[in-house]
Every structure is written in structure tokens, then in C-alpha cells.
Amino acid sequence: MNMTREQLGALSSLALAHVGDAVYELLVRASLCASGVPRADALHQKTVSYVSAPGQASAAERIAPLLTDEETEVFRRGRNAHVRSVPKGASVGEYHAATGLEALFGWLYLAGHHDRLTALSKAILGGE
């Protein structure tokens, strides 16, 4: 996709996070498959470790120094979005950071910045 700045600006942070959740999980799953994790149960366990709120909060910390000012602002907006509930396995802070990461990935995808998504995914997943 290649949405304009105006179109992207009209979306709520939670709408961006909605898209970003799927984009991030797909990138994690594809990377794990490419790394040669052979069994479905192992793939599932590794995927969950990355896509859970604590895993996403850790990923957000890892890429924070790499973000541009604009990306940092999108992340901040997502992190500060009002969420109604927090999953049992996450702290409020982790869940907010995870929402920020998802908003960033949704924004990058919808803006058509696929090379940047790949670069940030590699920074998060390392050798996976």
C-alpha cells in the first residue's frame, strides 16, 4: 500500500496497531521459517515469544535508537493510545510499548516503506 500522509494521519493509532499486529506477526513467522525451525510446535513457541506483549516491548527497546524522528512520533502516539484492557501476561507498560510497536509497523506498511520494515525486523530478529 501507499497511503498519503493525510490518509495515514486520519487513522487512529489503534487502527495502525490493528494492521501492524498482523504485519509484525507475518514478518516474525516468515523469518522463523526461513531460519530453519523445523517443527510446528517450535515455530509456534518462538513466534509467541516475539509477538507477545513482553516480546514486542523488548523489540521496541531494541529498535528505539534506530528510529527516525517521524517513526519515533508514530511509536509514541501508539504507545500513548488509550487501550481498554491489558492481557494477563503483560504489564501495562509492556502492553503500551507493544501497541506503539504495532502502530509503527502498521504505519510503515500502509505508507509503503517495506524496505524499512525489513530493516527493523532484521534488527529485532537478528539471526533468526
Task: State pLDDT tens for residues 75-127.
Answer: 999 999 988 888 788 899 999 999 999 999 999 999 999 999 999 999 999 85
Q: Is 35 helix (H, G, I), strand (E, B) or coil?
A: coil
Fold of 5-125: Ribonuclease iii, N-terminal Endonuclease Domain; Chain A (1.10.1520)
What is the distance between the alpha carbons of residues 5 and 107, in angstroms, rounded to a whole number? 10
What is the distance between the alpha carbons of residues 9 and 125, in angstroms, rounded to a whole number? 29
Whether the pLDDT of residue 37 is over 80: the answer is no
Tell me if 20 sits within 8 A of 104, measured CB to CB.
Answer: yes
| pLDDT at residue 1, as a whole number | 80
Q: Is 37 helix (H, G, I), strand (E, B) or coil?
A: coil
Residue boundaries of the structural domains of the chain: 5-125
Catalytically active residues, by annotation: 21
| pLDDT at residue 127, as a whole number | 53
Q: Measured in whole angstroms, how far is the alpha carbon of residue 39 from the centre of its chain?
A: 24
